[in-house]
Structure 1
Amino acid sequence: MDKQIVFEDEQIRVIFLAGHSDELVLSFGDLITRAKGLSINAEKSLIKYDYNVIGIMPKEKSWFPLESIINMLSAIEPYLAQYKQIIGYGGSMGGYAVLKYAKLLRMTRAIAFVPQYSIDPQDVEDRRYAEFFDMSLHRDMRVAAEDVSATTEYVIVYDPYYANDREHYLKIKALIPNLLTLKLPFTGHEALSVLASSSLLNDFIRHDLDEQYFYAQMRAVKKNSKFYYRTVISQLMSRHSKALGLILKNNDLQLDAQYLDPTLKQLITRVMLSRRQVTEQDLQKLGIKVSLPQESRLQLQDQHAGFLIFNMISSKIESYSQDSIRLNDKYLIPLLVKSSGLVKVEINHERYLVAMNDRHVMKLFKEHDPLSLDMTPLVLKKHEHYYVISYKGLALSSDDHGVCHFIDTAADDSTHFILV
């Protein structure tokens, strides 16, 4: 595999990967796929189809400053001159670069996933990337009419329901009338991850711009993408929890235990436990297994009238209403509370310590069993009018959604709990 660095400055590293294609692909990295050795964005997929590639990889979160691209252009001009078909490809920050420099780099096709129009706070309401804006690098950085080429085919993939990306898309669309827009609803800013597919990337580069064809290919990729379903669930769960209940009831799902990550498991079970009584069959369909405990009566109440429990499904301390605990008492275990001491729960007539590590991962340990080296028991401290749960120098805080996290001060009502 023939690779060589053809240009480098403080902002970007540019790598040529030799293949045997008639096309030259300009593959731009993003905030995640930044310069590392000779790696190129989407390298495995591009090598699979033996493309000639120039990988333009960012060293910093600096949105490919114009000065670096102009300096690069003289270095890659001999490569550009060899090809009639030059295809730009990138997502997010890389998608911005594809659109901004399509004309300058003589692209015949520009493929941008969830691109930005600009990160200048004067140009957009979106503040996700405002901290990376540097006037010395980014003066007049927005995609402008003079950047648009009449001979370039433009393709954008984005989620029309994701407000932050929609703002950028609408500003870009106003500049490119003949833009092919492919919508990927309810995926947020994750379109590139959802559609990660070598064959689909090959289609984006080589196939005629046929909207129906691309939607058919995207559906095929989504159908086999765990990431797609996880992303959609996380986007819709809080607003459409009933839909998941119907899916579980009407379909014989058998997801494996690794299908849903811990954060998504916590979101799903939290919504389901709050709004409906969960059955063990429902949890098994989602690949969630749980040991069933017995009821405990002692409860700590937060300032929002919720009660602290240990959630056997998410393995987190959380706060729920009394009705939710009553309906789901097999999974939501009240903390044992009498006086100052270690935080405990009782399961099947056996007591367990609640311990946590510095990554805020919680685990249960039998009362007399040794802890693993990285785990520290949570401590319950009884004050005159309230209790505080602490981990090292942090205090447990509960918000109005029942989500608990540790903060660096106990002088806050959200960290004060009363015994009911």
Structure 2
Amino acid sequence: MYREVLYEDSELIVIWQPGESDYLLITFGDLISLAAGNKFYADTAVTKLGLNCIGFMAKTPNWFPSASMAAAIGQIAILRQFSCRVAYGGSMGGYAAIKYSALLGASEVLAFCPQWSIDPNECAGQSSGYEHYFKPSMAGMGIRMEDMAGRICILHDPSYAVDDFHHNQIAAVCKNLASVNVYTAQHHVTSILAGTANLAELITTFIRDDIPHLKHIVSKIRRNSRIRKHILLQKAINRHPLLVHRVLGNAELATKLGVTENNALNSQLFQYFIAQGKPEKANEVLTRLGPSICRHRINLLQEALDDCARTAMIKTQGILVTHHQTVLVYSVFYGILCHKNLNALESEKMDLQPIFLVKLSGYEVAAIWSKNRFLACAIDPHGQVHLKGMESGKGDDFIVKEDNSNNGFTLLLKSRYVSAAHNGDILYNKPKALAWEIFYRYDVNLI
């Protein structure tokens, strides 16, 4: 396909691609489609449709400086060959489509969630959403009445505050504006309405000045959009997490979203369940995520899940406390049981794992929680802990709870009592139970 550079300077490049349409499409790139060779905004659709098109592409996030635009437009003789000139762009490109519509002699302008200005002084305390791109050379860049020509249509999500601010500022100075609401789109209006067939239908319908039909087209595209479904589910997570969980767990519904959207929603849902202390649900989400993410990330998420599960069990089962008001724990670094003060559970969480009592073969045995399962603490003759799965039942080297009074209980290893020595050690050789051999199960919030 033939393309020609009509103008280029340090700020922008203008590319011409001839076609067979009876109108001229003038497109403007946005922040994610800056100048790159002879590419221009919407060039794939333009080529497929055989449209006459001029593409303005910014080289940086510069919002198409007025000096460069005036110089470029002054050199584009092709403009005079078309009475119907349609300016088209989104976000930064939408701003330019409106801002330079008079200079271009545009007959129609389609702008998707455009900015009015990103000059903080013009916005007067209202965030433009793009302040970090502002440069002093952009001062006074706001769209004025005299900048505009032709019939202008802005398509945006009125519930998205930043874009609605810009829309309202433009509407206040535009005499010939049609507004088309694209609900539940946020700033993704351009992406939702993208596509060759959509572009053709939007442009031809607007050229006919059939705004009711234009709104119908937009509504139909929006309802079927994967992005809209993603946004709806994303918003629902905090209010209806179980509903979102069921939707994502339904293979037929999930496939309508796509891999990227599924991963993003499952990741957000995993974070929600972790924050709410619901490890069982978080584990179900992780199972869904697993096939589409790398094993290293799975391992990291599993660590977060384990930590959540331990925290949840501490809250529901309580912690095992010694006579010294310390907590019975397993040291990962040393492979032993010991007892530490409560604060150490948090400050030394990489090393210390709380001990729980888990029912097994009619007993309650000492165990830790790791990688979504309990591991029993089996004690060897040297006092080292060997973590064992509980599938085969209770072993002789497991620590077992002995039923005692409500004032406490004892732990046994092969008929000998487990003892919490004053120095933090755990001993396994006491023939009878005295104060140091008594343990308590306490609610962590009461200690």
The bucket for the TM-score relative to the shorter chain is 0.5 to 0.7
Distance 1:248 1:315 in 2: 20
Task: Give the aligned partner of residue 405 of structure 1.
Answer: none
Residue 264 of structure 1: CA displacement? 2.8
Residue 19 of structure 1: CA displacement? 0.8
Task: Give the aligned partner of residue 43 of structure 1.
Answer: 43
Equivalent residues in 2 for 1:11-410, closer than 5 Å? 11-76=11-76, 78-124=77-123, 125-136=126-137, 138-149=138-149, 152-207=150-205, 208-239=208-239, 241=241, 244=244, 253-255=253-255, 258-272=259-273, 288=288, 317=304, 320=308, 338-339=332-333, 346-347=370-371
Residue 35 of structure 1: CA displacement? 0.3
Distance 2:193 2:315 in 1: 40
Residue 153 of structure 1: CA displacement? 1.4
The structure with the larger Rg is 2
Q: Structure 1 residues 18 and 181, CA, compared in 2 at 3 Å: closer, same or farther?
A: same
The answer to whether the 8 Å contact 1:89/1:98 transfers is yes
Q: Structure 1 residues 73 and 29, CA, compared in 2 at 3 Å: closer, same or farther?
A: same
> Deviation per CA, 1:236-258, whole angstroms, max 9, x where unpaired?
43355465368679996343872
Q: Structure 1 residues 63 and 324, CA, compared in 2 at 3 Å: closer, same or farther?
A: farther
The answer to whether the 8 Å contact 1:289/1:313 transfers is no
AA at the equivalent of 2:69: I
Residue 342 of structure 1: CA displacement? 7.1
Residue 268 of structure 1: CA displacement? 2.2
Residue 143 of structure 1: CA displacement? 0.3
Q: Structure 1 residues 282 and 190, CA, compared in 2 at 3 Å: closer, same or farther?
A: farther
Residue 121 of structure 1: CA displacement? 0.3
Task: Give the aligned partner of residue 403 of structure 1.
Answer: none
Distance 1:281 1:266 in 2: 10
The answer to whether the 8 Å contact 1:102/1:147 transfers is yes
Structure 1, unaligned runs of 5 or more: 292-309, 329-334, 352-419
The answer to whether the 8 Å contact 2:155/2:182 transfers is yes
> Deviation per CA, 1:53-110, whole angstroms, max 9, x where unpaired?
111000011100100000001211x111000110001111000001111111111111
Residue 226 of structure 1: CA displacement? 2.2
AA at the equivalent of 1:265: N
Q: Structure 1 residues 325 and 191, CA, compared in 2 at 3 Å: closer, same or farther?
A: farther
> Deviation per CA, 1:187-240, whole angstroms, max 9, x where unpaired?
221111122121111122111333432233224333443233223333443355
Q: Structure 1 residues 130 and 277, CA, compared in 2 at 3 Å: closer, same or farther?
A: closer
Q: How many residues align?
A: 324
Task: Give the aligned partner of residue 412 of structure 1.
Answer: none
Q: Structure 1 residues 232 and 315, CA, compared in 2 at 3 Å: closer, same or farther?
A: farther
Structure 1 stretch displaced more, 335-344 or 188-197: 335-344
Distance 2:117 2:181 in 1: 21
Partner-residue secondary structure (3-state), 1:112: strand
Residue 278 of structure 1: CA displacement? 8.8
Task: Give the aligned partner of residue 390 of structure 1.
Answer: none
Task: Give the aligned partner of residue 405 of structure 2.
Answer: none
More helix by share: 2
Q: Structure 1 residues 336 and 112, CA, compared in 2 at 3 Å: closer, same or farther?
A: farther
Q: Structure 1 residues 133 and 277, CA, compared in 2 at 3 Å: closer, same or farther?
A: closer
The answer to whether the 8 Å contact 2:97/2:111 transfers is yes
TM-score, length basis structure 2:
0.62
Distance 1:82 1:67 in 2: 24
The answer to whether the 8 Å contact 2:112/2:156 transfers is yes
Structure 2, unaligned runs of 5 or more: 292-296, 317-328, 334-347, 354-368, 376-446
Percent identity between matched residues is: 26
Distance 1:105 1:270 in 2: 49
Distance 1:12 1:180 in 2: 29
Residue 275 of structure 1: CA displacement? 5.9
Residue 13 of structure 1: CA displacement? 0.6
Distance 1:262 1:248 in 2: 10
Task: Give the aligned partner of residue 326 of structure 2.
Answer: none
AA at the equivalent of 2:266: K
Distance 2:20 2:133 in 1: 38
Q: Cα RMSD over matched residues?
A: 3.9
